[in-house]
C-alpha cells in the first residue's frame, strides 16, 4: 500500500489527488472480501504453500512488463 500511495501522490496533480486516492482505496477495500473468498476456494484444490510462490512470480512478471 505505501509504495502505491507514494507513487500516486507524486504523479497525480494536486487538484485530482483526493478523488483518485479515494476511488483507488475504495476499490482496494472492495476487492478484499472477493480475494478472501477466492483464496479460500483455491485452498481446497492446491497446497497452501504454492499460493505465495505463484503470487510472487506473478508480481515479478507484472513489474517486468510494466518497467518496459
Picking from 48, 26, 30, the residue whose alpha carbon sits closest to that of residue 39 is 48
Copy the grid coordinates of residue 29: 477495500
Q: Please give the model's pTM, rounded to 2 decimal places.
A: 0.55
2: confidence class by pLDDT, cuts 50, 70, 90? confident
Cell 472477493, located at residue: 34
Copy the grid coordinates of residue 49: 504453500
pLDDT at site 5: 84
In the chain, domain spans: 2-67
Cell 500516486, located at residue: 8
Q: What is the mean pLDDT of residues 32-60?
A: 91
Cell 472492495, located at residue: 30
Cell 502505491, located at residue: 4
pLDDT at site 7: 86
pLDDT at site 33: 95
Amino acid at each position: 500500500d505505501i509504495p502505491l500511495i507514494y507513487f500516486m501522490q507524486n504523479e497525480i496533480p494536486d487538484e485530482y489527488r483526493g478523488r483518485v486516492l479515494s476511488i483507488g482505496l475504495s476499490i482496494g477495500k472492495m476487492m478484499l472480501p472477493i480475494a478472501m473468498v477466492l483464496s479460500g476456494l483455491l485452498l481446497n484444490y492446491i497446497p497452501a504453500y504454492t499460493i505465495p510462490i505463484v503470487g510472487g512470480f506473478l508480481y515479478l512478471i507484472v513489474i517486468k512488463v510494466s518497467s518496459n
